[in-house]
Structure 1
């Protein structure tokens, strides 16, 4: 006589068959009703930059900047605004003359800015 690890009853078998058929039905329904959505979403997202450019032209710099700051738009959607260009201009021409006479504070061994190399730990 054979020994079986697990006994499958009729109601369990019917349950597995109904779940399997429901998965197929769900997939077919999705393909009929919703398969257009990913392509449409991709098209709309690809138009975002163009829509933001049109809004900047239509509503002006001040209103668009208020909207961009409030909704935290990404940098690629802000590059055409006046404040972004001004901020980048200031950042690119930032002077470092105020650091000219600075020097590092003395270290614990009394020397300025020199650090003793660490001893390597050899474990093998």
Structure 2
């Protein structure tokens, strides 16, 4: 004879049956009332960049940049703003001449910038 380590009472069985029937009812009501939402959401999220471009044209650069900073929008929506364009030109014009002649510091092997990893593990 097989032993069971859990006893299921009648009220638990009735609860599980009612939950099972509620799942079907919930799924049906969702399909009737809310099934349009994921498709609409996909469409609107696909139009985000267009909507932000329209807002930039409609409200101007200053208001749009304030909105971008306040809501922390992604970088892809900042591309057309003046501050982003200025930042990109500054990045491209940055001079790195001050790094000329720099040397890496001495390593533990008394060599400049070269580490021989195989020599570090001779302890095994």
Q: TM-score, normalised by structure 2?
A: 0.80
Distance in 1 (CA, whole Å) between partners of 2:59 and 2:36 is 33
RMSD: 2.5
User: 1:81 corresponds to which residue?
Assistant: 81
Cα 1:51–1:106 change in 2 (3 A) is same
Task: Determine which structure has greater relative contact order: mean sequence separation of CA pairs < 8 Å that are 6+ residues apart, divided by chain length.
Answer: 1
Number of matched pairs: 121
Paired residues for 1:1-124 under 5 Å:
2=1, 4-5=3-4, 6-106=6-106, 113-115=112-114, 117=116, 118-121=119-122, 123=124
Structure 2 segments unaligned to the other structure (5+ residues): none
What is the alpha-carbon distance in structure 2 between the residues aligned to residue 55 and residue 71 of structure 1?
A: 14
TM-score w.r.t. length of structure 1 = 0.80
Give, in angstroms, the shift of residue 104 of structure 1.
3.6
1:14-37 Cα distance to aligned partner (Å, 9 max, x none): 222111111111111111111111
